[in-house]
């Protein structure tokens, strides 16, 4: 029956005189494929903060193309370098003379007094390099007529060996104010010594230059970074000649000077020409021995425990190193010492081991033990030594008052008995 149904359309086409059209097989429509584009990274915006401009989606750009379009940064601008970074300038002869007097001469005198083979690190080369740059670029001028007087004053201050200690002699007055600045207000600077007086170098740092500016008003930040040229040349009066604040700097903020006869705690709080004496700003500075003081005394006096005293020579009795030209050597367990030279700080000295008692005679060991103090109760408990304190069992009440519990004659159970194999 199925075969008959297949021939019916053929018979009809023959009778009617028409041909069957051959239908071509259906093919899926051809679509043009678009090139795949990488999608930009999705940005997750937190609901806890407002939407920012950088959170908005931007056009995608290949990272390799970004790297090729980016201009390379020179290596010299990325590296950290000091403000006086020039290395090609030759050393200035006047800089060599001044730095040798400020640093090399005291080091040689200490080497002779302490009989050392070689002194430690010296800042003389860095002082020469920094000062030579400033002199070659004419940002500072040096008073050459005072160089010989400065060297003679330093040699006189370091005579003998009594000064060797934690408090070296201050910079002589003949070595101060030798450098004069030439930069006016608003010009770039690398040290306050490069500015005209009384200007200072504002926003200066060891790796950042600043600009010459007048003293800052109350509340301005101050004292955040050192002045490299002033440190190397030991100009201790830089804050006086080139003040940072209109008043004084305390806790990194500019403060207003105290009026005369008002309360104070340091000389820097009083106006120029005044000092803090007896917690009051008075005119002048205490310059006599045993005068009351709260800050500094006139050189060579020192303010120790509220009185101006003259530093004691070697061999004098002392209570602290402030009283001596050098240092105060106090034996262990005592409060009174003697003024002496101190070539090395006590914390840097090698540890001295106590003599061992293993190779000594029994008599000397018994004598050593007899000189020791009696042990404490806690040490005695650790070392099992007898002490004057009664033991713990002596502090207990008598046995009659203690509650008694019946004891059984049951043998003690063996630990981990449940793990033992059972007998069959």
What average pLDDT score do residues 170-185 get?
92
More confidently predicted of 169 and 183: 183
Give dist(CA 107, CA 235) in Å, integer: 18
Flag whether pLDDT at 375 surpasses 60: no
Please report the DSSP string for 242-266 in residue order: S-SBSSEEETTEEEPPBPTTSB-SS
pLDDT above 80 for 180: yes
The DSSP symbol for 320 reads S
Distance CA 303, CA 168 (A): 16
Reported as type and span, the H/E element at residue 367 is helix 362-371
Rounded mean pLDDT of the chain? 75
* Each residue's pLDDT tens digit, 215-241: 999 999 998 888 999 999 999 999 889
CB 289 within 8 A of CB 300: no
Enclosing H/E stretch for 282? strand 280-283
Q: How far is C-alpha 174 from the geometric centre of its chain's CA atoms?
A: 32
Tally of CA atoms within 13 A in the half-sphere of 281 that contains its CB: 17
Average confidence (pLDDT) over 162-187: 90
- Phi first, then psi: give them for residue 323, nearest 5 degrees: -85, -10
Please say whether the beta carbons of 342 and 369 come within 8 A. Answer: no
Which of 286, 219, 284, 210 lies closest to 246, judged by CA? 219
**pTM (2 d.p.):** 0.62
- Domain residue spans of the chain: 93-256, 257-310, 317-345
Question: In whole angstroms, what is the distance from residue 362 CA to residue 369 CA?
Answer: 10
Partners of 205 in the β-ladder: 208
Q: Residue 189's pLDDT is what?
A: 94
For the segment 389-408, the average pLDDT, to the nearest whole number, is: 52
Structure confidence at residue 195 as a pLDDT band (50, 70, 90): very high
160: phi > 0 → left, psi -120 to 50 → alpha, else beta; which? left
pLDDT digits (tens, 9 = 90+) for 301-353: 888 888 889 999 889 999 988 899 889 988 888 889 999 998 876 666 665 54
User: Which residues, other chains included, contact 92 with Cβ-Cβ below 8 Å and sequence gap of 6+?
Assistant: 128, 131, 132, 135, 136
pLDDT score for 88:
84
Q: pLDDT category, 8, cuts 50, 70, 90? A: low
Task: Please enumerate in sequence order all residues whose Cβ is within 8 A of that of 312, keeping only pairs 6 or more positions apart, or say none.
Answer: 318, 323, 324, 325, 339
Instruction: Mention every residue, 6+ apart, whose C-beta is less than 8 A from residue 214.
Output: 185, 198, 199, 200
Q: What is the distance between the alpha carbons of residues 132 and 94, in angstroms, rounded to a whole number? A: 8
Q: Report the pLDDT value the prediction gives residue 2, as an integer from 0 to 100.
A: 53
């Amino acid at each position: 029956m199925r075969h008959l149904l297949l021939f019916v359309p053929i018979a009809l086409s023959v009778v009617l005189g028409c041909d069957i059209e051959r239908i071509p097989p259906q093919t899926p429509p051809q679509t043009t494929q678009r090139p795949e584009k990488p999608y930009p990274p999705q940005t997750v915006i937190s609901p806890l903060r407002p939407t920012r401009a950088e959170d908005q989606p931007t056009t995608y750009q290949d990272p390799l193309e970004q790297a090729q379009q980016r201009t390379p940064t020179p290596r010299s601008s990325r590296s950290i370098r000091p403000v006086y970074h020039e290395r090609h300038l030759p050393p200035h002869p006047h800089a060599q003379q001044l730095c040798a007097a400020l640093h090399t001469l005291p080091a040689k005198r200490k080497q002779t007094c302490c009989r050392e083979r070689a002194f430690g690190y010296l800042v003389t080369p860095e002082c020469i390099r920094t000062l030579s740059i400033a002199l070659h670029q004419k940002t500072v001028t040096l008073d050459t007529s005072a160089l010989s007087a400065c060297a003679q004053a330093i040699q006189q201050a370091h005579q003998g060996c009594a000064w060797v200690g934690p408090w070296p002699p201050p910079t002589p007055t003949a070595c101060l104010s030798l450098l004069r600045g030439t930069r006016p207000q608003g010009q770039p600077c690398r040290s306050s010594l490069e500015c005209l007086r009384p200007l200072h170098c504002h926003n200066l740092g060891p790796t950042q230059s600043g600009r010459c500016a007048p003293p800052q008003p109350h509340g301005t930040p101050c004292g955040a970074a050192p002045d490299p040229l002033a440190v190397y040349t030991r100009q201790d009066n830089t804050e006086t000649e080139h003040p940072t604040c209109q008043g004084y700097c305390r806790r990194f903020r500019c403060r207003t000077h105290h009026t005369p006869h008002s309360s104070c705690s340091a000389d820097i709080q009083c106006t120029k020409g005044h000092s803090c004496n007896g917690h009051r700003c008075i005119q002048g500075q205490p310059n006599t021995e045993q005068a009351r003081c709260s800050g500094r005394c006139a050189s060579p006096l020192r303010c120790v425990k509220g009185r101006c005293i003259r530093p004691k020579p070697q061999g004098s009795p002392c209570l602290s190193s402030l009283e001596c030209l050098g240092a105060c050597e106090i034996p262990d367990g005592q409060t009174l010492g003697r003024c002496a030279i101190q070539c090395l700080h006590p914390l840097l000295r090698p540890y001295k081991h106590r003599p061992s008692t293993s190779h000594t005679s029994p008599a000397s060991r018994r004598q050593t033990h007899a000189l020791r103090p009696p042990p404490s109760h806690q040490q005695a408990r650790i070392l099992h030594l007898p002490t004057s304190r009664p033991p713990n069992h002596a502090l207990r009440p008598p046995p009659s008052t203690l509650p008694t519990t019946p004891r059984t004659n049951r043998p003690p159970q063996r630990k981990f008995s449940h793990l033992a194999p059972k007998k069959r």
